[in-house]
Amino acid sequence: MSCETGYFSGLSDVICKLGKINGFMLTDKGTTFTDLTFVTESTHHVGIASVTTASRTSMVYPVLNWENTTDDVTIQTSNLGFKDTDGKPMPSALAHIDVSACDYQTLKDLEGKLFDVILFTDEGKQLGTRKTINSVKGFRAKIAFKYGLPPSDNGQLQFAVYIFFRATDEFENVVYETPSYSFSDLVDFVPVGLNVKVTTAYTSGSGQVTVKVTKRSTGVGLTGLVAADFEVLESNGSAPVSTTVATDSGLGVYVLTVHEDVGGSPTALDVGEYFVMQVSDEDSGPTYLTYQSNVIKETVLA
Amino acid sequence: MKTDINPVMAKLPFSKFEKWFKKNIKDGELSAKDWYVKLGGVLPKKKED
């Protein structure tokens, strides 16, 4: 309940409708924009597809079906019959996203993580919340997914994303913008998905692992990748750990040499050490990614 | 079969790169020196007599 003086504030001459949510953008928790960059297409291009891993802070998901699952306001009635609201329900939503089964599988690592969510509507609106005078962000939320059998009735509702917002006050300070780009323009920035899987496990003796890289859904092998395209994101080996050699064997099969730094010399990882890898390819700039894979974790067992 | 070496390897001193190269690169189309230069490394100057 607000304990401030309330003032009438007029009404608009033009009645613009908000529209229905047709997409959302997950941005890393703490990502902020100025009023200008919030609606600058190139800002979002960098956030979605920059070749620099640390600059990729956002991802967009088209929505097929959006359900507002926020609980109704609780109305309490006193014993004399007076009614009033009690508390403010935390907003939540259930979105069914327009992705493939393989895309959906890659999302599970995002579960439980906090994001700032920017919403888009079919009336061309982009919604965020004001953080400070000249700072805009998405609505803080935690997301969850549903895995199981496909639905028997409506095939559109296969891939569910639960969005549990974390702050009602962010919805009292909504920033409504009408950018010059459409939501589908942002979807076009998303790199084409790749699937990468290990076909021969890494051994400390050879320092090598064999992987197969295919275009997601079609399963066509992607050739022409170079060693730097196989980025080691995490490892408990001695830093830096990187893919030093990539041998393209054709049909998307690559033999990779992955080494850690031991006393300034590249050396094979030891048993018990691991690395987390993602494969990508970039445009001729190189400025933006054109392909991006799922993430694999390989632990050295022998 | 096409082999590519990560350009980060050219950050190693050439002596270490060469040692690593001999152990890890088997299809010798290019020599260690050629690869090092190709990756952006600068070969050490020869000592003058």
Write the ipTM. Answer: 0.89
Q: Is residue B5 part of a domain?
A: no
Please tell me the distance from the alpha carbon of residue A198 to that of residue A291, in angstroms, as a whole number: 18
- Residue B6: inside a domain: no
- Residue numbers in A near B14 (CB within 8 A): none
Give A112 or A117, the one with higher predicted confidence: A117
Beta carbons of A247 and B4 less than 8 Å apart? yes
The C-alpha atoms of residue A237 and residue A274 are separated, in whole angstroms, by: 7
Q: Which of B2, B7, B24 sits opposite A228 (nearest CB)?
A: B7
What confidence tens digit (pLDDT) does each residue in A114-127 have?
999 999 999 999 99
Amino acid A149: pLDDT:
86
The pLDDT of residue A23: 98
Q: Between the CA atoms of A158, A161, A216 and A290, what dihedral angle is there, to the nearest 10 degrees?
A: 140
Query: Residue A178, SS3?
Result: coil
Q: Is residue B22 part of a domain?
A: yes
CA distance A220 to A53: 25
A53 touching chain B per CB within 8 A: no
> Taking 80 as the threshold, does the pLDDT of residue B27 lie above it?
no
Q: Which of A247, A255, A261, A262 to probe by mutation at the B interface, max B CB count within 10 Å? A: A247
Here the tokens at position A22 are 């047709």
Interface membership of A266 toward B (CB under 8 Å): yes
Chain A partners within 8 Å of B6 (Cβ): 226-228, 242-246
Q: Where does the pLDDT of residue B42 fall: very low under 50, low under 70, confident under 90, or very high at 90 and above?
A: very high
The tally of CA atoms less than 13 A away on the side-chain side of residue A190 is: 18
Tens of pLDDT, residue by residue over A19-48, are 999 999 999 999 999 999 999 999 999 999
**How far out from the chain centre does Cα A71 lie?**
26
Q: CA-to-CA distance for A112 and A145, rounded, in angstroms?
A: 9
Q: The tokens of A21 are what?
A: 């949510």
Question: Is pLDDT at A150 greater than 90 in this prediction?
Answer: no
When pLDDT is averaged across residues A224-232 and rounded to a whole number, the result is: 97
Confirm if A195 and A102 have CB atoms less than 8 A apart.
Answer: yes
Give the closest residue to A297 by CA, choosing from A147, A192, A196, A226: A196
Q: Cβ contact (<8 Å) for B24 and A265?
A: no
Kindly report the nearest CA distance between residue B8 and chain A, in angstroms: 8
Nearest residue to A71 via CA among A87, A89, A85: A89
CA B28, A232, A192 angle in degrees (round to 5)? 95
- Average pLDDT for A287-301: 97
Please check whether residue B30 lies inside any domain of the structure. Answer: yes
User: Tell me, what's the pLDDT at A3?
Assistant: 83
Yes or no: say if A27 and A57 are a contact pair by the CB < 8 Å rule: yes
- What was the pLDDT predicted at A1? 59
Q: Are A288 and A49 in contact (CB under 8 A)?
A: yes
Provide mean pLDDT across the span A76-105: 94
Average pLDDT over residues A180-209: 97
- Full domain range(s) for residue B34: 11-38
Give the chain A residue whose CA is nearest to the CA of B19.
A265
A81-106 average pLDDT score: 94
pTM: 0.91
Shortest Cα distance from B47 to chain A (angstroms)?
A: 24
Cis geometry, peptide bond prior to residue B13 (ω within 30 degrees of 0): no
Q: Please tell me the distance from the alpha carbon of residue A70 to that of residue A52, in angstroms, as a whole number.
A: 37
Q: Give chain B's domain count.
A: 1
Nearest to A241 by CA among A196, A211, A280, A273: A273
B3 within a domain of the structure (yes/no): no
- d(CA A11, CA A8) in angstroms, rounded, equals 9
| Chain B partners within 8 Å of A243 (Cβ) | 6
Residue with tokens 């982009």: A126
- Residue A227: how many CB atoms within 10 A of its CB? 24
CA distance A259 to A268: 5
- Residues of chain B contacting A, Cβ within 8 Å: 1-9, 12, 16, 19-20, 24-25, 27
Question: Is B15 a member of any domain?
Answer: yes
